[in-house]
C-alpha cells in the first residue's frame, strides 16, 4: 500500500512540474494578405535548459506548415526577420539562417549565411512576459548584419 502511495505522489509531482514548464508565441502578420509567420517557444519541463522553437508559416486557407528550428538556451533570445528582394523571408537565429515563403509554406536552412539578407522587418525577442515581435523602425534601413564572406556573430 505504501509503495502505491509513493508512486501516486511521484506521478502527481511530475505532472505538477510539467505544468510549470513554459510555452509562448508571437506572430508577424504580413500586410495586405492573410499571411503570417508565427514563432512558438516551448519548454516541456521546468528543468529543461533549452527552448524548442517552431515556426508556423501560413497563407490561409491554402497552406499552413509547422517547421522546427534549432533549440535555444539561455536568457538572450533573439530571432531576426528580413524580407529579401525576391519576396522571401530570411530568418537569423544566432549562427543559423533560414529562408521561408508563404506561397507553399516551405522552410529551408541555409548552408552558409546569405550575402544580403534583405530589409530588416523586426525581431522576435524576449520581453517581460514572453516573446514578442518588435517591428524595425519604419523608413530606416539597417546596417548589414553580415559582411560578405564572414560568418554571423
Q: What is the per-residue pLDDT across 15-62, written as a single tens digit (0 to 9) for each?
A: 444 444 578 899 999 876 788 999 998 988 888 888 899 999 998 888
The answer to whether residues 57 and 102 touch, using CB atoms and an 8 Å cutoff, is yes
Torsion of CA 98, 101, 107, 110, to 10 degrees: -30
Q: Reduce the DSSP state of residue 60 to 3 states and report it.
A: coil
Domain membership of residue 151 (yes or no) is: no
Is residue 143 in a domain?
A: no
Instruction: Supply the mean pLDDT for the chain.
Output: 79
- Find the domain containing 80 and state its range: 21-135
1 band by pLDDT with thresholds 50, 70 and 90: low
Let me know if residue 150 belongs to a domain.
no
In a domain, 2, yes or no: no
Total structural domains within the chain: 1
- Residue-level pLDDT at 21: 57
Q: Is residue 5 part of a domain?
A: no
Amino acid at each position: 500500500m505504501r509503495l502505491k502511495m509513493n508512486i501516486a505522489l511521484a506521478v502527481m509531482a511530475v505532472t505538477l512540474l510539467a505544468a510549470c514548464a513554459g510555452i509562448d508565441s508571437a506572430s508577424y502578420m504580413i500586410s495586405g494578405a492573410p499571411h503570417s509567420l508565427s514563432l512558438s517557444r516551448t519548454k516541456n519541463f521546468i528543468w529543461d535548459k533549452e527552448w524548442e522553437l517552431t515556426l508556423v508559416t501560413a497563407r490561409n486557407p491554402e497552406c499552413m506548415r509547422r517547421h522546427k528550428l534549432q533549440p535555444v538556451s539561455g536568457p538572450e533570445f533573439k530571432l531576426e526577420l528580413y524580407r529579401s528582394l525576391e519576396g522571401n523571408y530570411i530568418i537569423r537565429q544566432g549562427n543559423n539562417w533560414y529562408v521561408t515563403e508563404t506561397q507553399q509554406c516551405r522552410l529551408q536552412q541555409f548552408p552558409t549565411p546569405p550575402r544580403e539578407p534583405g530589409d530588416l522587418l523586426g525581431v522576435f525577442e524576449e520581453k517581460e512576459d514572453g516573446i514578442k515581435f518588435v517591428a524595425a523602425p519604419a523608413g530606416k534601413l539597417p546596417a548589414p548584419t553580415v559582411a560578405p564572406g564572414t560568418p554571423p556573430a
